[in-house]
């Protein structure tokens, strides 16, 4: 239970942070949002361990959730600064506190690297990331796990599948497609004139989970009694490998627009990582009592609804 507890939410103004903050507040927690543009102004990539310790002493939390990080439209150096080095300093700051709050670190399926076709990745699968993003996220997760082992940190790493749903960033594939469809729907056009979606080849099958389901998993992890599980890594995903082409086609169908999808090696960022990923989420069900509750159509439909609300209204002819 989180009623009456204080949660310090790092990256609270981002895609994940907004959903997590709303879930904690709905459960009666007091949420302090720290971000570059948040109520508590903090640039985690620039803050030193002493700065973070001072923040934690000034606003003592029961739970710290690190939802900050960089994934899209970032250089390797920027990803390492946000996803790895900042977490190292955060762990150092928390290890020096006399009363240590629980730390929930949001990791990534991309820390595992390649999956085995037809099988789910378990938490004991040896990490072997193949992208700078995956390597930077793994370094951050390792910092938390090292803190648990050597400094008695009360830490949990939630390794997330690819996250979608309302508010998905424009840098993500589904976020970009949703924004493109919303703009096309608000612009004057002939009824039978198709919207052309140019995308990089959609060859992969990946695990996707709704951002609100992620938020519920974070709240459940915050409420675990004691100092958390002995092996503090928990996968959070749908447990399915979804075909990327079918996901884009479903989003197009939900838009109600005639759409033509054009796959090209020259359109959109080419993915150099693995083409199959599915998480085994049985540990989350067992320890957290958690399961994903939102279906793919709801997640994609709500994504599209948010983009439509943000799209400029069409001017009358």
Catalytic residue positions, numbered: 133
Determine how many CB atoms are found less than 10 A away from the CB of residue 197.
22
Give helix 86-95 / helix 49-58 axis angle, nearest 10°.
Answer: 50
Tell me how far CA of residue 63 lies from CA of 74, 138, 154, 200, 239, in angstroms.
28, 22, 10, 40, 27
Residue 271 CB-density burial (10 A; 0-12 exposed, 13-18 middle, 19+ buried): middle
DSSP characters for 221-259?
A: HHT-STT--SS-EEEES-S--EEHHHHHHHHHHHHTS-E
CA distance 140 to 91: 9
What the block records as the tokens of 224 is 């675990």
What the block records as the tokens of 26 is 């709905």
Report the alpha-carbon angle 23-213-309, nearest 5: 75
């Amino acid at each position: 239970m989180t009623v009456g507890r204080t949660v310090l939410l790092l990256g609270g103004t981002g895609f994940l942070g907004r959903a997590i903050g709303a879930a904690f507040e709905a459960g009666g927690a007091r949420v302090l949002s720290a971000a570059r543009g948040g109520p508590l102004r903090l640039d985690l990539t620039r803050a030193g361990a002493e700065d973070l310790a001072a923040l934690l002493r000034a606003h003592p939390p029961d739970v710290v959730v690190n939802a900050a990080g960089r994934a899209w439209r970032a250089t390797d150096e920027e990803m390492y600064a946000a996803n790895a080095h900042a977490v190292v300093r955060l762990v150092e700051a928390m290890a020096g506190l006399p009363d240590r709050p629980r730390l929930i670190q949001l990791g990534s399926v991309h820390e595992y690297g390649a999956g085995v076709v037809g099988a789910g990745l378990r938490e004991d699968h040896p990490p072997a990331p193949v992208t700078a993003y995956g390597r930077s996220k793994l370094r951050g997760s390792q910092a938390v796990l090292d803190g648990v082992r050597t400094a008695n940190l009360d830490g949990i790493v939630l390794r997330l599948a690819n996250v979608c749903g309302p508010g998905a960033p424009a840098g993500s594939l589904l976020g970009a497609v949703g924004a493109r469809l919303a703009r096309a729907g608000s612009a004057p056009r002939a009824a039978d004139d198709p919207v052309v979606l140019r995308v990089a080849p959609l060859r992969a099958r990946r695990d996707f989970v709704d951002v609100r389901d992620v938020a519920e998993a974070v709240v459940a992890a915050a409420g675990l009694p004691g100092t958390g599980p002995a092996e503090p890594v928990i996968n959070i995903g749908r447990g399915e490998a979804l075909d990327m082409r079918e996901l884009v086609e479903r989003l197009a169908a939900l838009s109600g627009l005639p759409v033509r999808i054009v796959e090209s090696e020259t359109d959109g960022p080419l993915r150099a990582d693995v083409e199959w990923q599915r998480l085994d989420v049985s540990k989350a069900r067992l320890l957290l009592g958690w399961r994903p509750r939102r279906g793919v159509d709801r997640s994609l439909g709500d994504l599209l609804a948010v983009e439509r609300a943000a799209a400029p209204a069409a001017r009358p002819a």
